[in-house]
């Protein structure tokens, strides 16, 4: 048994740089689930050919061209994220309540100086504000008995397979295996490593709490050409704030385990970054009852991504003198990320003064995402991104009907599974969204309320996928968005 224990204050006086980004991180920041105003969400986000809503600046900027006046909007968006898991036949659930803002925006409408009807340019509009693009707030619990192996055994396999010498463990694996080694959960004899719970007999629990969001500042301009063609350009400045707190626990439930009682492993990650992209869009109105929209989004270039992470491990044994706690150093890394190009096509049918029906199709190839930095080419991770993800698309439908000054809305959206090949056999993160709401609109004021339900399923592995079955996760979000706006 080792005798060295590393203390919190010692480690937090130092830092270690290490490449920790994965293909899953690239996907997390490449998938965009547009939010924003209650009206936008009320028809499922299918605003690409409708326009005249601030959130359309983030999908088809040509929507700014349909504004006939100036306005300011504000959206609050509280939500409840719920999770359910099944692992080795045991069910667990958890939830998290979050209060956030969906959008804030300002539109300035400028009429031409020439006489009415004498100019092709009917109006120019300028917009500024932000739209939410992703919400990371959730809490997941996983629990179940494992009678075959343990996290410690996966660590042992890594050390034995790679022939790591005892003196190199802490430097090679300072954030996980090194902590287990330093708290006596792994030991060595006759040139190989072993652990107490090699054949399972443990109750395993994990809680994953995520926080933060992706928000985008949008700077837009556009116009109306002859009430037939509408154009728009948006410079988007998205920002990422992502926090993840993991707590993994194992406790002995088998009398034959020699000394081990329990372990607790904590891991924390923080990611921040700011990027830039450009969006250009057009809307064409061939008939009063029909609008056709199209837009192109350049990749988003995140040039200042920054990760920080650290971990800790606690062990408990029948021999209390072996109980130990170890803390990792603070890991950090600066890098760059490029997310995929996007293209959208839209159509809307305007049914007189009674309502409308609209649909959007979004093309995005997640295999195009790429990491890079000054110190690393990310060859292996980028190869995983290319082979694990695919090109597919997302579909949004919506409708709105008028009852005097009141509006009734409904919408649906489908976000396809981004995985391909062998990765698709174990991962399917299709996302479904349904929404409904109502609103009131007068000449100078409007208010909208929308309920949005989303659901996705995915598999989550506590550790080595060859050793444990996946925990089957069902994640749902319930959001109520309220928008108020003023026209002038």
Note the pLDDT of residue 7. 31
**Average pLDDT over every residue of 365-377:** 92
- Within-domain flag for 408: yes
- Tell me whether residue 385 is in a domain: yes
- Can you state the percent helix, strand and coil of the chain, rounding each to 5? 15, 55, 30
Q: What is the pLDDT averaged over residues 407-422? A: 94
Q: Is residue 469 part of a domain?
A: yes
pLDDT of residue 376: 81
Percent of the chain surpassing pLDDT 70? 95
3-58: pLDDT as tens digits: 333 333 333 333 343 456 899 999 999 999 999 999 999 999 999 999 999 999 99
State residue 118's pLDDT score: 62
Pairing assessment for the beta strands 15-17 and 330-338 based on DSSP bridges: parallel
Residue 117: pLDDT band (50, 70, 90) is low
The answer to whether residue 432 scores a pLDDT higher than 70 is yes
Tally of domains in the chain: 1
pLDDT at 113: 66
* Average pLDDT of the residues in 413-433: 90
Residue 114 has a pLDDT of: 65
The confidence score (pLDDT) of residue 477 equals: 96
Residues spanned by the domain of 244:
8-487
Q: The domain spanning residue 481 has which CATH number?
A: 2.40.160.60
pLDDT of residue 190 exceeding 90, the answer is no
**Residue 1 in domain:** no
pLDDT confidence band for 400 (50 / 70 / 90)? very high
User: What pLDDT is stored for residue 116 in this prediction?
Assistant: 62
Phi, psi of 52 (to 5 degrees): 60, 35
Query: pLDDT of 279-335, one tens digit each?
Result: 999 999 999 999 999 999 999 999 999 999 999 999 999 999 999 999 999 999 999
Burial category of 404 from C-beta neighbours within 10 Å (exposed 0-12, middle 13-18, buried 19 and up): exposed
> What are the backbone angles phi and psi of residue 443, rounded to the nearest 5°?
-65, -40
CA distance 462 to 469: 9
Give pLDDT, residue 375: 83
Q: Which residues lie closer than 8 Å to 62 by C-beta, 6 or more apart? A: 51, 222, 230, 231, 232, 281, 282, 283, 293, 295
Does the residue 3 lie in any domain?
no
Task: Please check whether residue 226 lies inside any domain of the structure.
Answer: yes
Q: Which helix (H) or strand (E) holds 391?
A: strand 391-403
Q: Is residue 336 part of a domain?
A: yes
What's the confidence (pLDDT) of residue 5?
A: 34
CA 243, CA 98: separation in Å to the nearest integer? 14
Got the DSSP string for 18-56?
Answer: -----HHHHHHHH------SHHHHHTTT--TTT--SGGG
- Any domain includes 405: yes
């Amino acid at each position: 048994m080792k005798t060295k224990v590393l203390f919190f204050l010692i480690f937090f006086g130092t830092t270690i740089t290490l490449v920790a980004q994965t293909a899953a991180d690239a996907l997390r920041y490449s998938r965009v689930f547009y939010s924003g105003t209650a009206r936008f969400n009320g028809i499922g986000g299918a605003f690409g050919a409708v326009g005249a809503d601030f959130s359309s600046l983030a999908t088809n900027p040509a929507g700014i061209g349909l504004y006939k006046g100036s306005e300011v909007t504000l959206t609050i968006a509280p939500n409840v994220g719920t999770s359910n898991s099944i692992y080795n036949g045991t069910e667990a659930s958890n939830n998290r309540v979050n209060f956030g803002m969906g959008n804030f925006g300002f539109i300035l409408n400028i009429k031409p100086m020439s006489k009415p009807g004498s100019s092709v340019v009917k109006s120019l509009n300028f917009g500024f504000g932000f739209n939410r693009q992703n919400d990371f707030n959730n809490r997941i619990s996983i629990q179940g008995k494992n009678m075959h192996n343990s996290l410690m055994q996966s660590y042992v396999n890594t050390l034995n397979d790679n022939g790591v010498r005892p003196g190199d463990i802490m430097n090679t694996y300072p954030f996980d295996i090194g902590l287990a080694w330093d708290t006596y959960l792994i030991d060595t004899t006759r040139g190989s490593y072993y652990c107490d719970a090699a054949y399972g007999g443990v109750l395993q629990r994990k809680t994953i709490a995520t926080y933060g969001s992706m928000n985008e500042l949008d700077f837009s301009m556009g116009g109306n050409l002859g009430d037939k063609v509408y154009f728009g350009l948006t410079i988007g400045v998205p920002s990422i704030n992502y926090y993840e707190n993991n707590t993994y626990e194992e406790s002995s439930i088998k009398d034959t385990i020699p000394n081990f009682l329990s372990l607790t492993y904590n891991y924390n990650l923080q990611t921040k970054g700011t990027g830039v992209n450009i969006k250009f869009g057009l809307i064409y109105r061939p008939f009063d009852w029909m609008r056709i929209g199209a837009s192109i989004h350049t990749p988003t270039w995140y040039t200042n991504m920054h990760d920080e992470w650290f971990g800790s491990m606690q062990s408990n044994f029948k021999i209390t003198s072996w109980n130990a706690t170890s803390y990792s150093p603070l890991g950090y890394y600066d890098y760059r990320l490029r997310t995929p190009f996007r293209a959208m096509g839209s159509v809307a049918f305007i049914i007189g003064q009674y309502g409308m029906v609209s649909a959007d199709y979004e093309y995005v190839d997640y295999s195009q995402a790429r990491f890079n930095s000054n110190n690393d080419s990310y060859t292996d991770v980028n190869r995983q991104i290319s082979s694990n993800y695919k090109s597919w698309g997302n579909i949004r439908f919506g409708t709105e009907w008028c009852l005097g000054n009141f509006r009734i809305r409904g919408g649906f959206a489908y976000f396809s599974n981004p995985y391909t090949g062998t990765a698709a056999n174990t991962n399917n993160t299709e996302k479904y969204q349904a929404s409904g709401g109502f609103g009131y609109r007068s000449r100078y004021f409007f208010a909208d309320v929308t309920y949005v339900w989303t659901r996705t399923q995915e598999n989550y592995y506590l550790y080595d996928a060859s050793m444990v079955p996946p925990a089957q996760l069902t994640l749902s979000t319930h959001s109520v968005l309220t928008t108020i706006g003023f026209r002038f």
